Amino acid sequence: MMKANKMKAWTVKQLKEKLNNDLAACNTNFERSMVVAIGGKEIREFAEQLSAIRKLTPGEIAIASEYGYKGN
């Protein structure tokens, strides 16, 4: 059983890198789908939190949009 690693992220890019690292550790399609679902939700929610504080960069918007971020 995989242990969930919660990373205190400072940027959307760091969360995307963490998601990619987690995907590399997956063995099955089901594991990969769960990593994308959970990691994508985390990226989307973090982008929403950041957008409440400041304007997101185009790179942050691009990454978050991959996982359903619509913007405010």
Q: What is the pLDDT of residues 16-65, one digit of tens each?
A: 999 999 999 999 999 999 999 999 999 999 999 999 999 999 999 999 99
pLDDT digits (tens, 9 = 90+) for 17-27: 999 999 999 99
What CA–CA distance (Å, rounded) separates 61 from 65? 6
**Prediction pTM value:** 0.82
In the numeric block, which tokens belong to residue 26?
């997956």
